Every structure is written in structure tokens, then in C-alpha cells.
Amino acid sequence: MTTLDIILKHIKNKHVYIQTHNFPDPDAIASAFGLQQLLASKGITSSICHYGQIDSYSTNKMIECLGIEITNVDINSYSTSADEIILVDSQKGNSNIKDLPGDEIICLDHHPAFGNTNYRFSDIRPELGACASMIAEYFIENQITIDKNTATALLYGIKIDTANLTRGVSELDLKMFYTLYGLSDVKLLECLDHATIKLSDLKSYANAINTIKVFGDISFANAGAGCPEPLIASISDFMLDLAEVNFSVIYSYKDEGVKLSVRSSKDLYDSGQITKAALEGFGRGGGHPAMAGGFIPYTRDDNMDSMIPFILEMRFLKAISDHSPS
């Protein structure tokens, strides 16, 4: 049996919900879209859903150009307790996913395993750079034709999550990238590659540049209040491009707390382990060796806001010291 055969065996309903993490990026959306096409080829209908706004210009353009139907459950209530949900690029119980009323029966993800949730089936491979590579593999091993839109979406998901094959790349990521390339709309990919930032995003970059603090090769910066989550991650990538920086922490104040994006040179630092250790007992965080995220819940006030930079610096520098090779 292939992995897709096992997935189908565990689906009882004729319709399922495919849920991404909150504020989904191209990899999450591509994975959900690809899975939707796979299920449709086997007679199962599905609805893709997420929680939170999609603020990235390029991600919205991807959705529009490829005709992807995705619903914001913050606007439309989705699922009942009798409904079945497949999680893609996310895991139940994590801080970055909305808990819907339905039953999360299957999890398909490339992030490190989170908790001990009992799914009917899970395919969790943290060694992969992109969840889209897993979905593409399902097509190939089942000899299911990949149409141009689906191939383009999956390829774009791999490109973004691996930073154009420069971050966390596995052999499967490379194999699927080159398989999908010949099936994709290359002109559309080029268009998406050049639609990554809006004029209004520059304010967040300016906030981060004006507040950056560097300790050795460790940097911290504030992207400003209410910075969209995909943009926080982009700015963290940007800071890691500095010659003097091998570990970047970017944060933004939200109404419900502080959101963080962490990037590092995985040969020197493990972002996932360090972020998890730094936020333990204070917030939640974790991820891959080269990229991680975190969240600190609290009720905002001026006194606490002024303490956050110091607390983050202290906690991360200690965690780095504790987890660095001796």
C-alpha cells in the first residue's frame, strides 16, 4: 500500500476539511491544494480552510492566479464534531493552529512532532524542507497526473520553504523540485518571485533595522506592532543575510502577545531547540534547526512592552549558551 492508500483507508466521510496552520504560507496552501486534487481523483471532495488573515501579497497572488479556493474560518464557521479534518503543514495543539470542532483524523507535516495527539494516521517528516514535497511524492508513487496549476503550486511551496533550495533541503525536496519544474507554469513562477513585498512592508523593515541589537553573531529586532506573520519571517531571513549574523530573532507585538520568527545557520545553531528552551515556561516555540517560531501570550501594557526586548535577549542568549557545542 502507498501512503495515499493508507490515507484513503482512514477517511470515512465523502467530504473532508483540509486545514492549514493559521496565516498560511505558500507551502501550506500548496500542500492543501495538492492534497485536494489527490482526494478528488479518488472521489472524495474537500474544503481548504485556515484561521487568520493572509497578509502576504505574493501568497494572495498565488491563490488568485492558480484559482485556489480557501476559506477563512474566522469569517465563516466551519465543521461540526461529525466532520473529519486533515491537517497539513501543521499539528494539533500547536499555538499556530485553530482548534475546530471536527475530528483531526490525519496529519501530514514536515515540522518536528508536537505532543502525542492520536491521529488515525500521520506522516510527519521533519527531515524535509517542505510539506509540498510529501504531497508531490504521493502523486508520483501513485502515478496520478499532476496538472499545471497543481505542479506550479507545489513547486512554489518548495521554493519558498527551502529559500530556493538553500535551506533544510532533503533529497526528496530536490527530486520533487526537478520533477515539478517541467510540469509547471514557469512564467507564473517568475511573476510570483518578483511579487514578494509591498511598499507598506518597508515600514516593518525600517522598524527592524532601527531597533536591531547584535550580541556577537546573535541579532534581535522589533518589526513593529501588528506586523503580519509572513513578513516577520521574511525580515528574519533578511537579517540572517547580514555577514555578522548567524542567529536572528525578529518579534512583533500583537493584541494577544508577542510573535517571534527565528532563523539561524543550522551548522552553528539549532533554531528549534534553542527557541523551545528560551520560551519554556514563558511562551511556546520550536521548529527546524534552521528556522523556528514562537509566541508569548500576555495582556499588553506599557511596562511589560518595555521589558520584552530585555527578556528575549536574556532568555535566548542563555539558551544559546546552554545548547552550543562545548
Q: What is the pLDDT of residue 193?
A: 82
Residue showing cell 521554493: 159
* 8, amino acid identity: L
Compute the average pLDDT of residues 117-144.
96
DSSP string, 147-202: -HHHHHHHHHHHHHHTTTTTSS--HHHHHHHHHHHTTS-HHHHHHHHT----GGGH
- pLDDT class of 302 with cuts at 50, 70, 90: low
Q: What is the pLDDT of residue 199?
A: 84
Quote the CA–CA distance of 59 and 228 in Å, as a whole number.
12
Structure-derived torsion over alpha carbons of residues 267, 271, 274, 277, reported in degrees to the nearest 10: -150
Quote the CA–CA distance of 281 and 288 in Å, as a whole number.
20
Fold identical between 3-193 and 202-323?
no
Distance of alpha carbon 92 from its chain centroid, rounded? 14
- pLDDT class of 195 with cuts at 50, 70, 90: low
Set of cell numbers at residue 160: 519558498
Neighbours of 194 (CB within 10 A): 9
* 187, amino acid identity: K
Query: CA nearest 128: which of 112, 141, 140?
Result: 112
The segment with the largest mean pLDDT, out of 52-56, 237-241, 303-307, is 237-241
Q: What is the pTM of this model?
A: 0.83
Q: What is the pLDDT of residue 56?
A: 82
Answer for the pair 119, 107: CB distance below 8 angstroms, yes or no: yes
Q: What is the pLDDT of residue 298?
A: 80
Q: Which fold has domain 3-193?
A: inorganic pyrophosphatase (n-terminal core) (3.90.1640)
The average confidence (pLDDT) of the chain is: 92
CATH of 202-323, one of 3.30.70.20, 3.40.640.10, 3.40.50.150, 3.10.310.30: 3.10.310.30
Domain ranges (residues) in the chain: 3-193, 202-323
**52 or 95, greater pLDDT:** 52
**144 or 325, greater pLDDT:** 144
